[in-house]
Amino acid sequence: MFTGIIEAVGRIRSSQKSGQGMRLWIESERLDFSDVKLGDSIASNGVCLTVTAKSSDAFQADLSAETLRRTLFGHYQSGQRINLEKALLPTTRLGGHLVSGHVDGIGRIRAIEKKADSWELWLAMPQALSRYIAEKGSITIDGISLTVNELAEDAFRLTIVPHTALVTTLQQAEVGTALHLEVDLIARYLERLLQGRAPSAAGVTTDLLRARGFI
């Protein structure tokens, strides 16, 4: 699990095909690798990757065919900048929201507008994800925990403050840029609960959730 608070920006050092998957090295001079062990998880542009080898300033990860199918890693080239976050600890401050590192879909920047010191981004979203995204709710964009400030039928608006742009890859964002999307975990599990169990057995109904402010 992660929080969506980016610890460092790294870059892809090298990548090579490995069967139907891919093996790559991601390096970062700013991420502290001293406590990283083999088998640990590191969110890389919002994708949970397992460390299979490491050095003082980089780690290796193997990507399956499923990961390549669902993410943009198959299109990344050496030098691609990557948002990095190590897995949270029980003592970690949850400054963002709970993030699993499992990509739900790909969004694309539709518009960027400068507002004082900040930027307003409109992202087009897959129609299948629209029901999980709520105004003032949380969403993960390339591993970054952000708040949805406005919602349209097929897009949503984010506000990017200067600090977020400075410490993430969003400083290079432009119209047309594709980004990984992960919706809020609570929304996914609520839907599963309502679909998978009878309301009489679970004691949970749509009216109850609405009355309690969940929907």
Q: Which residues pair with 197 in a beta bridge?
A: none
DSSP symbol at 192: H
| pLDDT score recorded for residue 190 | 81
| Domain membership of residue 33 as a residue range | 8-86
* 194 and 147 within one domain: no
Q: Which residues pair with 22 in a beta bridge?
A: 17, 63
| pLDDT score recorded for residue 201 | 45
If you search the block for the tokens 């700013």, which residue do you land on? 30
Domain endpoint, select from 86, 117, 148: 86
Question: Would 97 be classed as within a structural domain?
Answer: no
What is the DSSP code string of 72-125? Answer: SGGG--TT-EEEEEEPP-TT---SS--B-----EEEEEEEEEEETTEEEEEEE-
Question: Would 134 be classed as within a structural domain?
Answer: yes
Question: Would 142 be classed as within a structural domain?
Answer: yes
* 15 and 56 within one domain: yes
Question: Would 16 be classed as within a structural domain?
Answer: yes
CA angle 172, 41, 189 (to 5 degrees): 90
pLDDT in tens, the chain (215 residues): 999 999 999 999 999 998 999 999 999 999 999 999 999 999 999 999 999 999 999 999 999 999 999 999 999 999 999 999 999 988 888 888 999 999 999 999 999 999 989 999 999 999 999 999 999 999 999 999 999 999 999 999 999 999 999 999 999 999 999 999 999 988 878 877 777 654 454 566 777 777 776 77
Domain endpoint, select from 86, 114, 148: 86
* 192 and 181 within one domain: no
* 177 and 127 within one domain: yes
* 193 and 179 within one domain: no
Instruction: Please name the helix (run of DSSP H) or strand (run of DSSP E) that holds residue 181, with its range, or none.
Output: strand 178-183
* 15 and 80 within one domain: yes
Task: Dihedral sign for Cα 57, 53, 83, 27, please.
Answer: positive
* 205 and 181 within one domain: no
Q: Which residues pair with 27 in a beta bridge?
A: 11, 58
The total domain count for the chain is 3
Question: Would 30 be classed as within a structural domain?
Answer: yes
* 194 and 122 within one domain: no
**Which CATH number is 151's domain given?**
2.40.30.20
| pLDDT score recorded for residue 59 | 98
* 149 and 193 within one domain: no
| pLDDT score recorded for residue 197 | 56
Question: Would 95 be classed as within a structural domain?
Answer: no
Question: Would 170 be classed as within a structural domain?
Answer: yes
> How far, in Å, CA of 133 to CA of 114, rounded?
24
